[in-house]
Structure 1
Amino acid sequence: MSRFLHILDDRFFAPKRDRPSWPDLLLFAGWMVLVGFQVARHVMWRDEVRALTIALNGDDLIAMLKGLHGEGHPALWYLLLRGAHAVFGRVEVLPGVAFVVGLLTVALLIFRSPFPRPLVLLLITSHALLFEYVVMARNYGISALFLFAIAACYPAHRGRGVLLGVLLFLLANTNVVGSIMVGAFLLFWLLDLLETHGWRWSPQLSNFAINAIVATIGVVICAATMLPTYNDAAARDWSQGSALTAAMLSLVNPGATSLGALFANLLPGIAGSVLLFAATLGLLPRRAAFLAAIAALLLSSLFFAVAANGAYRHAAVWLCFLITLYWISWNNVATASDGLLPAIGRISLLLLLAIQTAAGINDLRNAATGVVASRSADLGRLLASRADLANAAILSEPEWLVEALPYYVKNPLYLARDHKFGSVVIFTRKGRMDSDLGETLRLARELRETSGAPVLILLAYRLDEITPDRIYDEGKNWRTFRASAAEISDFRAATTLIHRFDPAKTDESFDVYLLR
């Protein structure tokens, strides 16, 4: 056993040695090839395109920020997208900005981190850094970039200047989990200073206080941008449960919350929780980092259990925070050759990262086999091949199917429940909650009469598979849909099915009907 641990430590947890640059350049080039392959095959889905649509709304920046208020995300990602579009004027800035952010993140890991090359290889081939934070164009990749930038700058700036405070300010405005990590990092920074300089006021503590104020302003701006949210259907509904019970359980079993997404459904909640806690034990040689990692884990779990459900992209922000703490503490971690608990921590971290790499390999398999997140690009190609549909109005059921379409088509999009043209759906429990196929057909006819254009109807429900009069939940305990046998018959008589798309990785696949 001791020989096995020695081999692991020598390969994955050794102090950084002087090394030639060309292998690192090969790692960097190989990563770009793998990511470029996926970017070329990636199809944008609604959560990605929704951000671009919001970023481009409004005649000026102030109008955009007013429209963003309450969306549930801070402004930084939207500002990056709007700025890039102002320069290039193309929707392709959406994947372009995500790729540049991922490129900078991985460059920091390869060329600036203290990690041995085998550990770097595990990190850059993870699901986060091979797909979720670089191919998927969302606002979570910038969290990883700022966290790793903080790790690279911390040794030289922990006692002087406001660079770390500015980076924490920006981190707070990437997403809400990033804001939680700001608080956890400030805890680490404070404990680290106290452990070094003792419990007395010092110039370093004065500098910390200034940086903490800057970071806190960032958190306040994040909260002011997000709250109150108009997407109230996305909030947790506690009418049938206890928030207090969920909070207490989350503190002892974080693997049962959204943090369990880090295990790609390979581990049950309890086993996942053990691995999450164990992965922090490698930081015990630097107690401030260990305590901050535990605090961030518990705060994230509490947030996911009480405030909002999350997915891998949310959970991986905590993982990047953990990597940040290992980065800063690497000299302590790499030279701590004895101790059972730190050894368990190092093995647990490797196991956790190995699962991420396995998920990254699966991303490559999906790209190679043509698995896509949405059929929106296929619809774009279909419309491009039909000159008679160039100006067709499009409505859908559920209505959120249209959110991904502005990236691929220029056709007018109609929001059936809101009775207006647009491409951003408000996930609210206010207004009309239920609909049926008869209403969809009636709206399509009205739309044709008022616009004089052909009308396309996208249905996520397959009419030959739908159960008449069954009530279908459209997600988030939000809106419902149903279709009677008579409505199905009337709809088929009034429309022509022009294409049925194959299933997608998400729920964004549909049948396309043309109103006769």
Structure 2
Amino acid sequence: MFISRVSEKHKLVVIFLIYAVVIAVGLFFHEIWLDESQAWLIARDASLLDLFKLAGYEGSPVLWHLLLMPFAKLGLPIASMQVLQFIIILTAAGLLLKYAPFPWWMKALILASYPMFYEYAIISRSYGLGVLLIFAVLSAWPNRQSKVWQLALLITLLAQVHIFGLWLAICFVVYWLVDARKMNGRVLAGNLFLIALPILSIGLAVAMLWPPTDLSHSIAPFDFIFEWGDLEQLKFVITGAFFPIPDPGGRFWNNVWWSNQAVFSIGLFSFVVSYLSFYVGRSKLITLYSVMSSGMIILFLTKHLQASRYLVILVIILIACYWLAELEKSKSSKSDLGLSRAMVSVVLILQIPMAGIALTTDLFGMFSPSQQAAKVLRSDPDYVEVLLMSFPSQYGVSLLPFIDDAHKTVYGVEYERDVSYMVWNTEQSYGYDLGADVAIQRIEDVVAERKPKLAILAVAYDKDELWRPLLKKYAIYGDFSDALLNHEQLLLIDVTAPK
């Protein structure tokens, strides 16, 4: 066959180029949504001190925001964030293709898996940066004794990406210390300062992520009380991570069809196979995989994290531990890893359907209406003097990156002031449940006070108890209720003056 005559290097180059083209197209057509905009707006408008104060509300350390800051503060368009995301995920892919001890076809399967093909590639959030640093740690692992500084720096950075990176950094540090003690205890003694760096970074990340006393009640607190009903959520976690097919009756994204017995059975099968792959390969890395994945599952259950964008980190953990397992085998034995590789490949193949569903749906549908809504606003002759209001505030905030510098804030009805990004505190969460009468009164009061030439309210489409009474007095300015995500669907209402 033709493929058998092509060298391994050329196959990897072709895989990389195809991957780069697909991700570039996906990023170009993807409409940026609130969570992506939120990080950009914080980087644009928050001070360095505020950045650290906001970490507890964001549930994420500051590394991603620090990377965005130079671009945002220079006034570059938010598309530059997607360019940065493209560079990050391609670098991660490059590390995988160059350093992972897998055959070319297995590397291709990894890049075609849901987290690498869509979730952590197309969505511009800190998760892609986490994947890059995980792959960088794995690439540096063979030189962990001779280049201690390299591994120490990478784990230090990994702890600052997100809470998942923090947990994996803890696991990597412990595994590294145990491994170094077995191989050469003098390495530890001679590099105490370098080894202390990731430990200090872990401590700093824990301090930043410690929940503030006024954290929004809509962000679930840790719940360490076990109930038998939690086993239902475990079904959700396993399905969402290992066979994240969406429920056809709902949205395509973060909508795991765990209640379908056939889908759950396939997810459970994939989960079990992921463990058997280490057992069949006689790898000691099953312990690390168990600790990493179990810790993450406990986090999902205690924080009630119910979205596939969180859950598929378990697939990245499988890839990471199997990478280390093959490095271990290459040093100690040349035994056949065929069955073990086949098992991991089955897990990866079961990720591909969702990868295809997600990317094609995103390409041909409207992920978020923010850009289109902002375009409608900018086309209005009275746009320069517009007062933009929002309830809840995040619907207006999501428009801000696509509006010029003259409009850097939105009047948040629940906050009763102008805001340029969300702060997920109790003020926001209590305000979200504001009664329609109170919200309408606040809206009309601020219009009467500021007397704008044009006053536009962005309102959640599911807040019909608010917009239906408003439409008795005011006109619809723009209807964007056809977005793919129901929590992104919104209406623009002209509240300048009654009909």
TM-score by length of 2: 0.83
- The one-letter amino acid paired with 1:349 is V
Structure 1 residues 158 and 246, CA gap change in structure 2 (3 angstroms): farther
Question: After superposition, where does 1:104-183 map in structure 2 within 5 Å?
Answer: 104-158=91-145, 160-183=147-170
Tell me the distance in 2 between the aligned counterparts of 1:299 and 1:352: 20
- The one-letter amino acid paired with 2:105 is P
Match of 2:267 among 226, 251, 272: 272
Structure 1 residues 162 and 407, CA gap change in structure 2 (3 angstroms): same
Tell me the distance in 2 between the aligned counterparts of 1:380 and 1:28: 35
Secondary structure of the corresponding residue to residue 513 of structure 1: strand
- 2:483 paired residue number: 504
The CA deviation at 1:493 is 3.6
- The one-letter amino acid paired with 1:380 is A
Secondary structure of the corresponding residue to residue 199 of structure 2: helix
- 2:249 paired residue number: none
- 1:391 paired residue number: 385
- 1:218 paired residue number: 201
Tell me the distance in 2 between the aligned counterparts of 1:103 and 1:278: 29
- The one-letter amino acid paired with 1:39 is L
Secondary structure of the corresponding residue to residue 355 of structure 2: helix
Secondary structure of the corresponding residue to residue 360 of structure 1: helix
The CA deviation at 1:255 is 4.4
Q: Is the Cα contact below 8 Å between 2:188 and 2:195 reproduced in 1? A: no
Q: Is the Cα contact below 8 Å between 1:396 and 1:457 reproduced in 2? A: yes
Question: After superposition, where does 1:42-441 map in structure 2 within 5 Å?
Answer: 42-58=30-46, 60-86=47-73, 89-158=76-145, 160-193=147-180, 197=183, 202-206=185-189, 212-229=195-212, 230-236=214-220, 243-245=225-227, 254-257=234-237, 260-264=240-244, 265=256, 272-284=267-279, 285=281, 287-331=283-327, 335-337=334-336, 343=339, 346-369=341-364, 371-410=365-404, 411=407, 412-430=409-427, 431-432=430-431, 434-441=433-440
Tell me the distance in 2 between the aligned counterparts of 1:74 and 1:408: 26
The CA deviation at 1:290 is 1.4
- The one-letter amino acid paired with 2:139 is A
Structure 1 residues 270 and 24, CA gap change in structure 2 (3 angstroms): closer
Structure 1 residues 444 and 134, CA gap change in structure 2 (3 angstroms): same
Cα deviation, 1:289-336, whole Å, max 9, x if unaligned, reads: 210000011100111111351533323333223212222322556844
The CA deviation at 1:123 is 1.3
Q: How many residues align?
A: 466
Structure 1 residues 97 and 143, CA gap change in structure 2 (3 angstroms): same
The CA deviation at 1:273 is 4.4
The CA deviation at 1:208 is 7.9
Structure 1 residues 248 and 308, CA gap change in structure 2 (3 angstroms): closer
Secondary structure of the corresponding residue to residue 459 of structure 1: strand
Identity of aligned residues (%): 18
The CA deviation at 1:462 is 6.6
Structure 1 residues 497 and 160, CA gap change in structure 2 (3 angstroms): closer
- The one-letter amino acid paired with 2:102 is F
Determine whether 1:23 maps to 2:11: yes
- The one-letter amino acid paired with 1:293 is Y
Q: Is the Cα contact below 8 Å between 1:57 and 1:63 reproduced in 2? A: no
Cα deviation, 1:180-201, whole Å, max 9, x if unaligned, reads: 112222343345446x54xxx7
The CA deviation at 1:373 is 2.2
Tell me the distance in 2 between the aligned counterparts of 1:109 and 1:386: 48
The CA deviation at 1:457 is 1.7
- The one-letter amino acid paired with 1:313 is R
- 2:458 paired residue number: 458
Tell me the distance in 2 between the aligned counterparts of 1:203 and 1:246: 48
Gaps of 5+ in 1: 1-10, 12-16, 467-481
Structure 1 residues 83 and 117, CA gap change in structure 2 (3 angstroms): same
Q: Is the Cα contact below 8 Å between 2:45 and 2:420 reproduced in 1? A: no
- 1:474 paired residue number: none
Q: Is the Cα contact below 8 Å between 2:293 and 2:317 reproduced in 1? A: no
The CA deviation at 1:421 is 0.5
Tell me the distance in 1 between the aligned counterparts of 2:278 and 2:317: 12
The CA deviation at 1:78 is 0.6
RMSD: 3.2
Determine whether 1:514 maps to 2:494: yes
Tell me the distance in 2 between the aligned counterparts of 1:288 and 1:211: 27
Secondary structure of the corresponding residue to residue 394 of structure 1: strand
Tell me the distance in 2 between the aligned counterparts of 1:275 and 1:159: 37
Q: Is the Cα contact below 8 Å between 2:283 and 2:325 reproduced in 1? A: no
Question: After superposition, where does 1:443-482 map in structure 2 within 5 Å?
Answer: 443-453=442-452, 454-461=454-461, 466=464, 482=465
Q: Is the Cα contact below 8 Å between 1:283 and 1:333 reproduced in 2? A: no
Secondary structure of the corresponding residue to residue 434 of structure 2: strand
Tell me which moved more, 40-49 or 77-86. Answer: 77-86
Secondary structure of the corresponding residue to residue 455 of structure 1: strand
The CA deviation at 1:177 is 1.0
Question: After superposition, where does 1:33-48 map in structure 2 within 5 Å?
Answer: 33-48=21-36
The CA deviation at 1:29 is 1.5
Structure 1 residues 246 and 152, CA gap change in structure 2 (3 angstroms): farther
The CA deviation at 1:504 is 1.7
Tell me the distance in 1 between the aligned counterparts of 2:193 and 2:235: 36
Q: Is the Cα contact below 8 Å between 1:154 and 1:164 reproduced in 2? A: yes
Tell me the distance in 1 between the aligned counterparts of 2:289 and 2:146: 21
Tell me the distance in 1 between the aligned counterparts of 2:420 and 2:113: 33
Tell me the distance in 2 between the aligned counterparts of 1:289 and 1:186: 15
Cα deviation, 1:93-142, whole Å, max 9, x if unaligned, reads: 22122111111101111222222111111111222222222221101111
Secondary structure of the corresponding residue to residue 136 of structure 1: coil
Structure 1 residues 313 and 206, CA gap change in structure 2 (3 angstroms): farther
The CA deviation at 1:434 is 3.0
Secondary structure of the corresponding residue to residue 389 of structure 2: strand
- The one-letter amino acid paired with 1:272 is G
Secondary structure of the corresponding residue to residue 493 of structure 2: strand
Gaps of 5+ in 2: 245-255
Cα deviation, 1:137-174, whole Å, max 9, x if unaligned, reads: 10111111111111111111246522212111111111
